[in-house]
Amino acid sequence: MNFAVITFPGSNCDMDLYHAIKEGINQEVNLVSYKEKSLEGYDGILIPGGFSYGDYLRSGAIASHAPIIDEVIRLANQGKPVLGICNGFQILTEIGLLPGTLTNNRQNRFICEQVGLTVENNKTLFTSKYDFKEKITIPIAHGEGRYYCDSETLHGLNENNQIVFRYDSDVNGSVDRIAGITNKQKNVLGMMPHPERAIENILGSADGLNLFKSMLETQKSEVQ
């Protein structure tokens, strides 16, 4: 499986994602500039965390107009796996691939800590290696990670099983303690916690590794 990690000015988790793919699941991965207009040949698209364009205007707003974005949208609509982590989640909501928005944490400050999550849906290409309702520990690092959507959107997320991860406690004020969601087709995942920072026990947790293993397992089963 060949992965692309999209990099923007201000990305600071791109090498973490690169390492998670290269060392964590031993797959091919390349850093691809936001200036590019093609993602031909890639089986999975990864949008890392960080502060694209310094988070000016609002997180992900400027990145949503980068040259590479049209290609990300095209491949997502074709069913290719697209994962956005932290700022990547913010970008996915800005470009309309995921509903809702991310806004300032309830505490109105940056939060960086390990948090408990519950796997709410293990029947996606990102979560097949987890158990349903499994408790995992993944770090967060965000100032604008509070997920918000209106009641109608929330109803739809629940009805369609699009809520993949929930915080075990009210970490940042997110609606329904949402930590990660998919699109209706389940091939696009956005999440605020950082699984790429939880692939080795020396980091405090290896619970993020199964997310990447799930993507690989799904690809192998489709090839077979």
* Residue matched to tokens 């397992």: 217
Can you tell me the distance from the alpha carbon of 118 to that of 111, in angstroms, rounded to the nearest whole number?
19
List 13, 94, 120, 194, catalytic entry: 194
Using DSSP bridges, classify how beta strands 82-85 and 44-47 pair: parallel, antiparallel or unpaired. Answer: parallel
Residue matched to tokens 């303690």: 177
Q: What b/e sequence results for 76-92 when a residue is b if at least 16 CB atoms lie within 10 Å of its CB, and e otherwise?
A: beeebbbbbbbbbbbbb
Task: Give the chain's largest Cα–Cα span.
Answer: 48
Contact 69, 77 (CB under 8 A): no
Both structure tokens of 16: 């973490």
**Which among 86, 94, 120, 142 is annotated as catalytic?**
86
Rounded to whole angstroms, the Cα distance separating 48 from 28 reads: 17
Residue 194 a catalytic site member? yes
Phi, psi of 121 (to 5 degrees): -145, 110
Which residues participate in catalysis according to the annotation?
A: 86, 194, 196
